[in-house]
Amino acid sequence: MPPGMPPANESGSPMLPMFGAEISELFVQALNTNASVVTLSSALRDGVNMTAQGIFGETSNAMVGTQIFTSRGVLRADMVSQGVLQAALEGFAPLPFLNFSTQLAFVPAGLAGGMLQSMLMTPVGMLMGNVNTGGQLSCEFLTGAQPSPTSQLMLGTHVWGLPGLLGGYKAALEWQHAKLDAEENLIGSSAITLACTMPLVEADGTRLDKASRDPSLSLSVFQRTSEKNSMAVSLERTPNAGIVLTAGGTRQLTDRTRLRGKWGTSNVLALALEVAADKGTFTLVSEMNTAGAPAPKFSAMLNLNLAASSSAAASPPPKD
């Protein structure tokens, strides 16, 4: 594999990220203790935004970027620590049913890497392709049906590999249901997601025979019980960790604070207290092992938006 590229048994791009999005945001992103993050955003003028981010952990880095919104797409330029410049064009749509996104990374020595993603809307679903300068390819297809005005069923497949080498595939099925009030405002929702990931090669590209292939399976259930509270359960089988059950949820404490947490058979308890203000949010995350020595870990996330309204009215915390 080219240096810096994911192994051949992993895709070089996110796999079906729209499936299980709410439970993934809760279990993976909101309760992450690997690093503390500070984010600052501001609208410099109409159609021009500035963002800055600092990540502090085992490997720390910083990023400052600008986004320019045009009729042809979004232009981005991000300067990352260690002297990396990332330039991107996102959402370029030459035709109503076709758009492209591309990203290039430069270092003082020249081009370090890049990727191109295309999305084509077809009568039966959405087809996406991805290729990077390391030679990795992936293709993704998403389709669905709407049995009722408040329910939908989605089916997606993702295939990845290198030229002449099929690395593996992922398939996912998700059922979603929304609960609306008389004015058609969302007051509750639920989602059930079933996913299977099957690598067909080893990390170095060695092909696996049928007897050696070991898929990862997951079943997750997310339930938004009200506008402010939610519950989630995930059952996952992986070749390395076996079967892992994780349960958690979100509880609104006050208009400005909420508590999020998860615990599972991996004996890891994670809690996050989120406090919202007029111009941002602050989240304190903790994690400890409940089976042996606690050895707690902590991280913090600060998100500031200088373009937010300075009204004294309390702004509600972001939804899951």
Kindly state whether residue 314 falls inside one of the protein's structural domains. no
The per-type count for the chain, helices as H runs and strands as E runs, is: 1, 19
Kindly state whether residue 165 falls inside one of the protein's structural domains. yes
Q: Cα 102 vs. chain centroid, distance in angstroms?
A: 19
Kindly state whether residue 180 falls inside one of the protein's structural domains. yes
In the prediction, which pLDDT does 4 show? 60
Distance CA 266, CA 102 (A): 39
Tell me if residue 312 falls in helix, strand or coil: coil
Sorted by sequence, the CB contacts under 8 Å of residue 210 that are 6+ apart come out as: none
Kindly state whether residue 223 falls inside one of the protein's structural domains. yes
Kindly state whether residue 4 falls inside one of the protein's structural domains. no
In the prediction, which pLDDT does 186 show? 82
Looking at residue 205, which CATH number applies to its domain? 2.40.160.10
In the prediction, which pLDDT does 183 show? 81
The residues pairing with 154 across neighbouring beta strands, listed in sequence order, are 144, 174
Contact 273, 10 (CB under 8 A): no
Kindly state whether residue 320 falls inside one of the protein's structural domains. no
Kindly state whether residue 71 falls inside one of the protein's structural domains. yes
Per-residue pLDDT of the chain (320 residues; tens, 9 = 90+): 455 677 899 998 999 999 999 999 999 888 988 899 999 999 988 899 999 999 998 888 999 999 999 988 999 999 998 889 999 999 999 998 999 999 999 999 999 899 999 999 999 999 999 999 988 999 999 999 999 989 999 999 999 999 999 999 999 999 999 988 878 788 889 999 999 999 999 988 899 998 889 999 999 999 998 878 999 999 999 887 789 999 999 999 999 999 999 999 989 999 999 999 989 999 999 999 988 787 899 999 999 998 644 333 344 555 55
Give me the number of domains the chain comprises: 1
Cα 209–213–7 angle (5° rounding)? 95
Query: Long-range contacts made by residues 235-242, C-beta under 8 angstroms, separation at least 24?
Result: 239/214, 241/266
pTM: 0.85
**Three-state helix/strand/coil letters over 196-242:** EEEECECCCCCECCHHHCCCEEEEEEEEECCCCCEEEEEEEEECCCE
The residues pairing with 233 across neighbouring beta strands, listed in sequence order, are 221, 247
Residue span of the structural domain in which 137 resides: 21-305
Distance CA 313, CA 311 (A): 5
Q: Cα 50 vs. chain centroid, distance in angstroms?
A: 21
CB atoms within 10 A of CB 163: 8
How many residues would you count in the chain? 320
Kindly state whether residue 2 falls inside one of the protein's structural domains. no
Structure tokens, 226: 């009200």
Distance CA 140, CA 134 (A): 19
In the prediction, which pLDDT does 3 show? 54
In the prediction, which pLDDT does 6 show? 79
Q: DSSP label at 16?
A: S
